[in-house]
Structure 1
């Protein structure tokens, strides 16, 4: 029994260590072996493109978003704008219709989803009306750099590249400790994705800005999101999903922990499925680096919720064995105490805020698991107001 508890302790501890420290460090070392491999671009590649914006009750930002798309540096005769309104009940649809009337010279369409089933369903429905060669998808509250679409298209330099995502830049990182922590997380994750994409393929994208060939679009289940599902889908088909961080989308992070917590809970609505969504991922001989990437970047992170619980409980049962276990248990208690202090005081200390933010992330995973088990996981959500 003692050996079994020790195995639980060390395996859980390894998962936490590998997810947060081991994998990022190992990837940097591996990346140095591929430092000569650069992202290839072809700016002469300017195919027809539809920029799709999925919106549910986005009256606060939809006008700014449409004007932002009009300012994109891309041939007007090769770009279309499609707003997929997911059963909006505010003024979103009227604003879009009025905008279309004011710009008859541009190809702008509104697709109204009659029954609200979430973002992925809206994308599935609207995509069936698209006739352009490529599809660029972006969120209503994400403002694009002028060269964003041009950069995305320039990265499709070969047939094996099926997906390209851009870089999400947080514009309000100094607004609060929450937005600062989220911006720090993105900085770290973007560095990881850049190396993954340069070597072979990324394990996840972001909803702010990404593109795929219209002919290779896949209808995913409504509960899934493209961020996680698309790169995985293409990777298992032997295709590459990469990132071009010169294609930039600007967005506000949640400025209050309540907004950020809700966002993380809904992000984890498929967490149990995402731990190992397809057994084929383990075939390192076929999928090569992708198997390594997915285990370190996804599987271990999606196991943090249970790993932290097991390492704490098993550590408690091992206290009498040696001073080492007393030290590790004390360290864990101190970690959670610091997080509690951050909760109560909302201090601006960056180290306390970081620990607090990390703990909130783990709790959000637990809520995600709870929603899945109880059947409460839904494909749609209410937007965070502090991100608008």
Structure 2
């Protein structure tokens, strides 16, 4: 019995350490082996493009978004704009229609989705009306840099590249400790994605800004999100999903823990199926670095919820076996206690906040798993007001 407990203990410990420390460090080592490999760009590549904005009850931000997209620096005769309104019941549609009437010189269309089924479904439906060569997707509350479209298109330097993700820049990182912790998380994750994409392919994108060829678009199940579904989908086709972090979208992170927790629960609505979405990923001979990237970056992170539970449970049974297990248990209890202390006192200490934020992330995974098992996971959600 002790042997199995120890095996489970060390496997769980490895998953946690590798996901948070080992994998990012290994990427830095691997990156040194590919110093000469750089992101290639071709700014003469200016195909026809549709910028799609998905919105549900975004009356607070949609006008700013419309002004933002029509000011993008790209040949006017090669760019179209499409707002896919996911059954909006506020003034979103009215604002878009008024804007279209006021600025007839811009090629803007409103596509009204009749039944609310979430962002991915709204993209699936609206995509069928797109006739341009490329499709760029962006969120209603994200403000795109003027050069974002040019940067995304410049990164499609070959047919091998099927997907390009931009960079999400958090603009309110100094407003609260919660938004600061989220910005720190993104900084680390972006560094990993830059290396993955430069070497072969990224394992996930971000919903604020990304692009694909219109002909390569796939109708995913509405419960899925493009962030996690698209890059693996293309990688398994032998194509590349890359990141061009010079294509920037500016967005607010949640400023209160309730908003960030809710967002993380939503992002985990298909967590169980993401652990290993396709067994072909294990074919390292065929998929090479993508296998390593996915298992290290995604699979290990998607297993953190159960890894922490198993580590604690096995540690309790092994505590008298060796002083190492005693120290490990003290360490775990200390981490949980510090997180609880931060939750109760709302301390502004940077390190306590990072611990607290990490534990909230793990709790969000547990809630996400519960919703999946109970059938409560939905393809749509209520937006976080502090991000608007």
Q: Would the TM-score normalized by the shorter structure come out above 0.5?
A: yes
1:381 maps to 2:381? yes
Task: Quote how far apart the aligned CAs of 1:18 are.
Answer: 0.6
Give the Cα–Cα distance (whole angstroms) in 2 for the partners of residues 278 and 300 of structure 1: 15
Give the Cα–Cα distance (whole angstroms) in 2 for the partners of residues 322 and 15 of structure 1: 22
- Indicate the SS of the match to 1:80: strand
Task: Quote how far apart the aligned CAs of 1:277 are.
Answer: 0.5
Give the Cα–Cα distance (whole angstroms) in 1 for the partners of residues 377 and 207 of structure 2: 19
- The within-5 A match list for 1:261-280 is 261-280=261-280
- Indicate the SS of the match to 1:73: coil
Q: Which string of whole-angstrom CA distances, capped at 9 and with x for unpartnered residues, describes residues 146-198 of structure 1? A: 00000000000000000001000000000000000000000000000000000
- The within-5 A match list for 1:19-98 is 19-98=19-98
1:249 corresponding residue in structure 2: 249
2:307 corresponding residue in structure 1: 307
1:290 corresponding residue in structure 2: 290
Q: Which string of whole-angstrom CA distances, capped at 9 and with x for unpartnered residues, describes residues 186-212 of structure 1? A: 000000000000000000000000000
Task: Quote how far apart the aligned CAs of 1:350 are.
Answer: 0.5
- The within-5 A match list for 1:176-187 is 176-187=176-187
Task: Quote how far apart the aligned CAs of 1:105 are.
Answer: 1.0
1:118 corresponding residue in structure 2: 118
1:333 corresponding residue in structure 2: 333
Superposed CA RMSD in Å reads 0.3
- Indicate the SS of the match to 1:65: helix
1:10 corresponding residue in structure 2: 10
2:367 corresponding residue in structure 1: 367
2:137 corresponding residue in structure 1: 137
Q: TM-score, normalised by structure 2?
A: 1.00
2:347 corresponding residue in structure 1: 347
2:194 corresponding residue in structure 1: 194
1:238 corresponding residue in structure 2: 238
Give the Cα–Cα distance (whole angstroms) in 2 for the partners of residues 26 and 257 of structure 1: 31
1:321 corresponding residue in structure 2: 321
Give the Cα–Cα distance (whole angstroms) in 2 for the partners of residues 26 and 104 of structure 1: 52
Give the Cα–Cα distance (whole angstroms) in 2 for the partners of residues 126 and 221 of structure 1: 15
- Indicate the SS of the match to 1:173: coil
Q: Which string of whole-angstrom CA distances, capped at 9 and with x for unpartnered residues, describes residues 314-342 of structure 1? A: 00000111111100000000000000011
Give the Cα–Cα distance (whole angstroms) in 1 for the partners of residues 106 and 198 of structure 2: 36
Q: TM-score, normalised by structure 1?
A: 1.00
Q: Which string of whole-angstrom CA distances, capped at 9 and with x for unpartnered residues, describes residues 253-310 of structure 1? A: 0000000000000000000000000000000000000000000000000000000000
1:173 maps to 2:190? no
- Indicate the SS of the match to 1:309: helix
Give the Cα–Cα distance (whole angstroms) in 2 for the partners of residues 90 and 187 of structure 1: 35
Give the Cα–Cα distance (whole angstroms) in 2 for the partners of residues 226 and 219 of structure 1: 10
Give the Cα–Cα distance (whole angstroms) in 1 for the partners of residues 101 and 24 of structure 2: 50
2:146 corresponding residue in structure 1: 146
Task: Quote how far apart the aligned CAs of 1:98 are.
Answer: 0.3
- Indicate the SS of the match to 1:88: coil
Give the Cα–Cα distance (whole angstroms) in 2 for the partners of residues 255 and 346 of structure 1: 14
Answer with 318-327 or 130-139: which moved more. 318-327
- Indicate the SS of the match to 1:210: strand
Please list every run of at least 4 consecutive aligned residues from structure 1 whose deviation after the TM superposition is greater than 3 angstroms: none
- Indicate the SS of the match to 1:212: strand
- Indicate the SS of the match to 2:169: strand
Task: Quote how far apart the aligned CAs of 1:106 are.
Answer: 1.0
- Indicate the SS of the match to 1:106: coil
Give the Cα–Cα distance (whole angstroms) in 2 for the partners of residues 284 and 200 of structure 1: 13
Gaps in structure 1 of 5+ consecutive residues: none
Give the Cα–Cα distance (whole angstroms) in 2 for the partners of residues 283 and 324 of structure 1: 36
